[in-house]
Amino acid sequence: MSALPEAQPAPLDLLTAVRERRTVDLNRLSPRPIPTSTLLTLLEAANWAPSHGRTEPWRFVVFTGEGRMRLAETLATSLARLKGEAEPGPDVLRAQRERQRLAPVWLVVAAEPAEKPRMPLHEEQWAVACAVQTLMLAARALGIASKWITNAPSLHEHTRQALGFGEGVSLMGLVYLGYPQGEWPAGERRPVADKVRWVEEA
């Protein structure tokens, strides 16, 4: 007799998800897989981000299961190239594989402008940032933790080529996703009044 599927909590409302979105470290993630249907929900949310000129430049490569090892090998090689080495040593490769296994899902994020772009690259990259934020908020609403990483290996030319992106594509890092272990981490912010000026009269 198969086990009953685990009950899913109701999604959080938007403002609660905004307040409670937190970065959760890799070592605090559960190995529990994220269903493909849930990942498609998150990617569909990202697909509704704003973009100037309706260019929709966001691109994602999703790594799950043993597919994560391809990402690990790519990043390990990029790390070696940053150090002036052609290939990673066995210890580096092993460490990268262990790191990728800590999160059940990894996304490579990229901005791909049109062949004849009408918008400057920075606007395309900002649109991708909006898509990533939308995805992370949707993830929080469904009880999934995330972190956006923009370290050197994730942005390296070898990473771009190895993942099949063309010359005009700019990598924008990695996002990992996973269910947190234990209590959801609390956050805090300084008062918004300290960061806002109001202009009410000419």
Residues annotated as binding site?
21-23, 52, 148-150
In sequence order, the 6+-apart residues with CB closer than 8 A to the CB of 140 are 12, 17, 20, 21, 22, 146
State how far the alpha carbon of 67 is from the alpha carbons of 61, 62, 79, 135, 175, in Å.
11, 9, 19, 21, 15
Name the token pair of 65. Answer: 């299961």
List the structure tokens of 128. 């991708």
Residue count of the chain: 202
Measure the CA–CA gap between 39 and 67, rounded to whole angstroms: 15
SS3 label, residue 49: coil
* Three-class secondary structure of residue 145 per DSSP: strand
Angle between helices 36-46 and 121-141 (to 10 degrees): 140
Annotated binding-site members for FMN: 21-23, 52, 148-150
Asked if 73 contacts 93 with a C-beta cutoff of 8 angstroms, the reply is: yes
